Amino acid sequence: MSEDRVRIDIADRVATVTMVRVDKHNALDEPMFRALHDATERLIADESVRAVVLRGEGKSFCSGLDVPSFYQEGAMPSDGLLEREPGQIANFAQRVATDWSAIPVPVIAALHGNVFGGGAQIALGADIRIAAPGTRMSIMEMKWGLIPDMGITQSLPRLVPVDVAKELTYTGRIVDGAEAKALGLVTRIEEDPHAAADALAREIASKSPDAVRRAKTLWEEAYVGGLSPADGLILETELQREIIMKPNQLAAVQAGFSGEPAQFADPTPSKVQTTAQAV
């Protein structure tokens, strides 16, 4: 992974992923795309991590596509970003936004400054978004004569009505933190979103990793997978059967009665077939 683009710090089972292209407001050039892809790949495989914080260093979360870095004499040379690897439904660039949902633990995006274009789509790929009041957010691709194409069809409809999604896409207008919250683009507003995201991640990391991982699976399958009511109810049962009366669930019960912090073991793998596994 390119350390001059993305840094991963792990402490107390919380992974903090930081975009570090400060001079460009963490704009997305090809090395940034590849570094973010490497980060998600690493975290998907890391069973020790129980929550993830995604943030940008400097003045912004991510200002979107670094347009000059991709265009040379009117042509975009990096066609590889639009290619799909065998077995993947998303292309390489889309996975930089959509693979946060494939990480089996909750991902909390801490937003500040500019959250534009591809940066907004990366943020929308997180489970939870905490934004500073002065955050500036935009589905900005229309400014460059483009459409949003980093998984927007999978993330935005889960958060806002289609007419709101259309207006934001057609205009590319910038909304502040308060309007983003009112529209449903962010979960909540905090003066210090990084501290709030870290506190929330640590709270989540203190829960049973078996339960947290299956809770994420439940919601990802219900929303992204578009489960029918019957299939949703079946999935609840299958996931519950995997963890009820198992060591981590019993540790949670004991902690609930004693008031002492629970000591959880590493998560057990799920045998439930998910949409992502079926691809």
Tell me what percent of the chain is helix, strand and coil, each rounded to the nearest 5: 45, 15, 40
pLDDT tens digits in sequence order for the chain, 279 residues long: 456 899 999 999 999 999 999 999 999 998 999 999 999 999 999 999 999 999 999 999 999 999 887 776 455 556 677 788 888 889 989 999 999 999 999 999 999 999 999 999 999 999 999 999 999 999 999 999 999 999 999 999 999 999 999 999 999 999 999 999 999 999 999 999 999 999 999 999 999 999 999 999 999 998 777 889 999 999 999 999 999 999 999 999 999 999 999 999 999 988 887 765 443
CATH number of 208-278: 1.10.12.10
Which residues are CB-neighbours of 56 under 8 A, at least 6 positions away?
A: 18, 19, 25, 26, 62, 112, 113, 119
Identify the CATH assignment for 6-204 out of 3.30.380.10, 3.90.226.10, 1.10.10.10, 3.40.80.10: 3.90.226.10
pTM above 0.85, yes or no: yes
The structural domains of the chain, with segments of one domain joined by +, span 6-204, 208-278
How many other C-beta atoms are found inside a 10 Å radius of the C-beta of residue 139?
28
